């Protein structure tokens, strides 16, 4: 499968000058090309978001008539004022925050507990239980919508924070258990044995050894899950109706006015406001978040 | 196993997570399976219909098959953009000396944005009046004849709703593949370069075989995420015009919550689960076998 005619220099031969030159020049040409390509791809990834922000500062007239690539003729914050008038953005952000916190607490605590039971304590059917949890990684979330809708209406849980938190946490639990288990493997058995000899029971070992050691994994799990939970649309859209409980993705939908008419500049202003919290967290903690995302799959 | 553990302590740690997981995931799966044998609109009495829903789905429902093939095309577009794009960018990135961290961050940026915001954004990118980014770009490079209302044209709408999903998560897979690529031992690569291996040989013979386990994981991730894709098509076109951008997931959702046909909707969701399991099985079978 060699498409490029590589200089078949035997390793033993001393590097003659043309080979030497080629070796130096070729990588640099390759590097220039790859730089250009990377720049192009990065522009494709980032430009739409920058455009979104610039548009939120355009006047309505400018947006409706102007060239979309052109810089705005004048900047205005009016769209932001209208965005806050149309929807209850503060409320939406607060709700998203509550749901994200609630789900994350369950995911971290329960993930850690299950991993501890499976990996550290051990029991006869632990392989089976681990397998059961793994199903949740593959299964699409849509399967739960109809059953949960029926169950929720039976126990009056429709239109509550819990109705969003339960499935969000449940479907994220397998990955969390998996990450914690792979971390617990690295804690040496001797640590536990020494603690046991000192008379510590499983609860104290969990609280004094396992929990404090896994703080890094906690950060990983929280960051990775927060992206998905903060932006969840499908569970919120299915289970929540009242304005008071709407999270950001649902709140944004309010900007589609009657008859499908959309106040685009105000909508983009609202989008900018709502992505800011997570974006700030992401930019501040991007090292930790990137590490988390990388480790998630590379351990597998 | 911990020496001092008791049966109770195992239960204390295991039961709460297991209960949550059963309530949110396992029990609903069984419930869907159960409901798929019934006809029920949520109000009247449930009526046992045996396999009738499955027969209807597989033999008499054109929309189902249309959605199924649409979902496969959607998946294909997502996989090419996500995995193909990720592999290319990750490989290019390893040859870069500076700015890797910055590019990783920028590339991942769309993954942080909610699907509703992305749907809004792409509605404007595809729009024709006022002229959106894509049409304007085509006009500039002299491909003005391709300008169109991408989301109303039945020939382009499916690709148009698939692309944003691919765009959104390519950064995520790039990170994972990049982390695997830089873990390839330098000695291996250097030895190959000394032996005169070209970039391409280096990639196919050294790097790719080395990252194959990670490639399998990412392929499974991207495929299962692609098969559950819902938000963006639902928000941008709601499956239309006609059924030209209907996916199995959006069709299931509408059957359940617009037509309130809970039984038939459950039949479709059972199919989606089976489809995911088959897909994962196929990927493992094909990629694992090649490795041997």
In a domain? residue B38:
no
Average pLDDT over residues A174-185: 89
Q: Which residues are CB-contacts of B126 (< 8 A; sequence separation ≥ 6)?
A: B132, B134, B135, B149, B150, B151, B160
Query: Residue B47's beta-bridge partner residues?
Result: B39
Predicted confidence (pLDDT) at residue B45 exceeds the cutoff of 70: yes
Tokens of A99: 């749901």
Exposed e or buried b per residue across B128-162, where buried means at least 16 C-beta atoms within 10 angstroms of its C-beta: eeebbbbbbebeeeeeeeebbebbeeeebbbebbb
What tens digit of pLDDT does each residue of B205-257 get?
Answer: 888 888 888 888 889 889 988 998 898 999 888 877 888 889 999 999 999 88
For the segment A33-41, the average pLDDT, to the nearest whole number, is 85
- Give the best residue of A3, A7, A15, A138 to mutate against chain B (max B CB count within 10 A): A138
Whether the per-residue pLDDT at A18 is higher than 80: the answer is no
Distance, in Å, from the CA atom of B125 to the CA atom of B143, rounded to the nearest integer, reads: 16
In a domain, B45, yes or no: no
Mean pLDDT of chain B: 86
* B169: in domain: yes
Flag if B272 and A7 touch (Cβ within 8 Å). no
CB contact under 8 A, B2 and A278: no
- Residue B56: count of CB within 10 angstroms of its CB: 14
Subunit contact A48:B214, Cβ cutoff 8 A = no
| pLDDT computed for residue B292 by the predictor | 58
- Compute CA A249 distance to the chain's CA centroid, rounded to the nearest angstrom: 15
Task: Report pLDDT digits (tens) over A200-258.
Answer: 888 888 888 888 888 888 888 888 888 889 989 999 999 998 888 999 888 888 777 65
- What per-residue confidence (pLDDT) applies to A26? 54
What is the distance between the alpha carbons of residues A282 and B132, in angstroms, rounded to a whole number? Answer: 29
Would you state the pLDDT for residue B250? 92
Report chain B residues whose CB lies below 8 A from the CB of A128.
none
High-pLDDT (> 90) share of chain B, %: 26
**A126-150 residue pLDDT tens:** 889 988 998 888 888 888 999 999 9
pLDDT of residue A113: 93
Q: Which of B20, B23, B25, B131 to mutate to test the interface with A (most CBs of A within 10 A)?
A: B25
| Count of the separate structural domains present in chain B | 1
B21: chain A residues, CB-CB within 8 Å = 132-133, 136, 170, 173-174
Q: Out of B218, B269, B277, whose CB is closest to A142?
A: B269
* pLDDT of A285 strictly over 90: no
Q: Which of B4, B172, B180 sits opposite A201 (nearest CB)?
A: B4
B53, part of any domain: no
Question: HEC profile for chain A?
Answer: CCCCCCCCCCCCCCCCHHHHHHHHHHHHHHHHHHHHHHHHHHHHHHHHHHHHHHHCCCCHHHHHHCCCCCCCCCCCCHHHHHHHHHCCHHHHHHHHHHHHHHHHHHHHHHHHHHHHHHHHHCCCCHHHHHHHHHHHHHCCHHHHHHHHHHHHHHCCCCCCHHHHHHHHHHHHHHHHHHHHHHHHCCCCHHHHHHHHHCCCCHHHHHHHHHHHHCHHHHHHHHHHHHHHHHCCCHHHHHHCCCHHHCCHHHHHHCCECHHHCECHHHHHHHHHHHHHHHHHHHHHCHHHHHHHHHHHHHCC
Say what the pLDDT of residue A259 is. 53
Q: What percent of chain A has pLDDT over 70?
A: 86
Residues across chain B? 292
pLDDT of A7 reads: 43
Residue A27 pLDDT grade (very low, low, confident, very high; cuts 50, 70, 90): low
Q: Do A136 and B25 make contact, defined as CB atoms within 8 angstroms?
A: yes
Query: Residue A15 pLDDT > 50, yes or no?
Result: no
CB A243 within 8 A of CB B241: no
Quote the tokens at residue B181.
Answer: 């690529």
pLDDT band at A13 (very low <50, low <70, confident <90, very high): very low
| Phi, psi values for residue B49, rounded to 5° | -120, 10
pLDDT at A296: 60
The percent of residues in chain A predicted with pLDDT above 90, rounded, is 20
Which has the minimum average pLDDT: B76-80, B171-175, B192-196? B192-196
Do residues B201 and B188 make contact, with C-beta atoms less than 8 angstroms apart?
A: no
> With an 8 Å Cβ cutoff, are A297 and B214 in contact?
yes
**Average pLDDT score, chain A:** 81
Nearest Cα of chain B lies from the Cα of A165 at a distance, in angstroms, of: 10
- Is residue B84 within 8 A of residue B177, CB to CB? The reply is no
Residue B112 belongs to domain spanning: 64-291
Q: The CATH number of the domain where B159 resides is what? A: 1.10.3720.10
pLDDT value at A81 more than 60: yes
pTM for this one? Answer: 0.85
Q: Say which range, A57-66, A192-201, B38-47, B150-159, has the weakest mean pLDDT.
A: A57-66
* B151 domain-assigned: yes
Is position B126 within any domain?
yes
Is A1's pLDDT higher than 50?
A: no
Give me the percent of chain B exceeding a pLDDT of 70.
Answer: 97
Q: Do the Cβ atoms of B175 and B183 come closer than 8 Å?
A: no
The string of pLDDT tens digits covering residues B163-177 is: 999 998 888 888 888
Q: What is the pLDDT of residue A12?
A: 42
Tell me whether residue B258 is in a domain: yes
pLDDT tens per residue across span A63-80: 777 677 777 777 778 888
B82-106: pLDDT as tens digits: 999 899 888 888 877 788 888 888 8
Where is pLDDT greater, at A16 or A103? A103
Residues of chain B found within 8 Å of residue A93, distances taken between Cβ atoms: none
- What pLDDT score was predicted for residue B6? 78
Residue B41 lies in a domain: no
Say what the pLDDT of residue A300 is.
Answer: 42
- Whether the pLDDT of residue A16 is over 60: the answer is no
Interface test with B, best of A65, A83, A108, A143 (most B CBs within 10 A): A143
């Amino acid at each position: 499968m060699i498409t490029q005619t590589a200089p078949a220099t035997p390793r033993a031969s001393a590097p003659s000058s043309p080979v030497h030159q080629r070796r130096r020049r070729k990588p640099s040409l390759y590097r220039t090309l790859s730089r250009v390509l990377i720049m192009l791809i990065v522009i494709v990834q980032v430009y739409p978001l920058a455009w979104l922000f610039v548009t939120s500062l355009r006047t309505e007239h400018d947006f409706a008539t102007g060239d979309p690539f052109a810089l705005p003729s004048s900047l205005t914050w009016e769209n932001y004022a209208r965005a806050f008038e149309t929807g209850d953005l503060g409320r939406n952000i607060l709700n998203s925050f509550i749901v994200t916190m609630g789900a994350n607490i369950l995911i971290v605590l329960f993930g850690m507990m299950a991993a501890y039971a499976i990996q550290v304590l051990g029991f006869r059917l632990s392989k089976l239980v681990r397998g059961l949890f793994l199903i949740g990684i593959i299964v699409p979330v849509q399967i739960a919508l109809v059953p949960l809708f029926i169950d929720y209406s039976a126990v009056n849980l429709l239109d509550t924070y819990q109705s969003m938190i339960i499935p969000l946490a449940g479907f994220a639990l397998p990955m969390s258990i998996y990450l914690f288990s792979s971390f617990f493997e690295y804690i040496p058995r001797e640590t536990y044995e020494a603690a046991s000899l000192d008379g510590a029971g499983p609860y104290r070992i969990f609280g004094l050894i396992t929990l404090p050691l896994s703080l890094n994994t906690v950060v990983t799990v929280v960051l990775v899950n927060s992206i998905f939970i903060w932006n969840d649309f499908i569970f919120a859209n299915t289970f929540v109706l009242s304005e008071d409980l709407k999270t950001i993705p649902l709140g944004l939908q309010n900007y589609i006015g009657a008859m499908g008419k959309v106040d685009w500049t105000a909508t983009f202003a609202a989008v900018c406001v709502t992505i800011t919290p997570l974006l700030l967290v992401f930019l501040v903690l991007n090292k930790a978040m990137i590490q988390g995302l990388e480790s998630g799959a590379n351990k597998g | 196993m911990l020496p001092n553990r008791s049966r109770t302590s195992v239960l204390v740690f295991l039961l709460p997570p297991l209960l949550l997981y059963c309530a949110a995931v396992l029990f609903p799966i069984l419930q869907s399976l159960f409901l798929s044998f019934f006809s029920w609109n949520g109000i009247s009495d449930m009526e046992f219909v045996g396999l009738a829903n499955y027969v209807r789905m597989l033999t008499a429902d054109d929309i189902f098959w249309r959605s199924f093939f649409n979902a496969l095309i959607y998946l294909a577009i997502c996989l090419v953009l996500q995995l193909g794009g990720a592999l290319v960018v990750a490989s290019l990135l390893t040859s870069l000396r500076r700015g890797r961290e910055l590019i990783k961050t920028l590339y991942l940026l769309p993954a942080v944005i909610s699907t509703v915001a992305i749907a809004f954004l792409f509605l404007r990118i595809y729009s024709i009046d006022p002229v959106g980014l894509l049409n304007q770009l085509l006009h500039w490079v002299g491909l003005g004849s391709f300008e169109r209302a991408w989301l109303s044209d039945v020939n382009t709408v499916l690709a148009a709703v698939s692309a944003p999903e691919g765009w959104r998560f390519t950064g995520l897979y790039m990170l994972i593949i990049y982390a695997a690529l830089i873990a390839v031992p330098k000695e291996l690569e250097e030895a190959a370069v000394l032996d005169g291996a070209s970039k391409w040989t280096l990639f196919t013979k050294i790097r790719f075989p080395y990252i194959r386990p990670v490639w399998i994981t990412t392929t499974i991730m991207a495929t299962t995420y692609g098969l559950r894709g819902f938000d963006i098509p639902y928000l941008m076109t709601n499956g239309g015009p006609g059924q030209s951008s209907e996916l199995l997931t959006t069709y299931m959702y509408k059957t359940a919550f617009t037509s309130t046909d809970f039984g038939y909707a459950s039949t479709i969701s059972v199919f989606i689960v089976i489809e995911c399991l088959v897909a994962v099985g196929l990927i493992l079978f094909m990629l694992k076998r090649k490795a041997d």
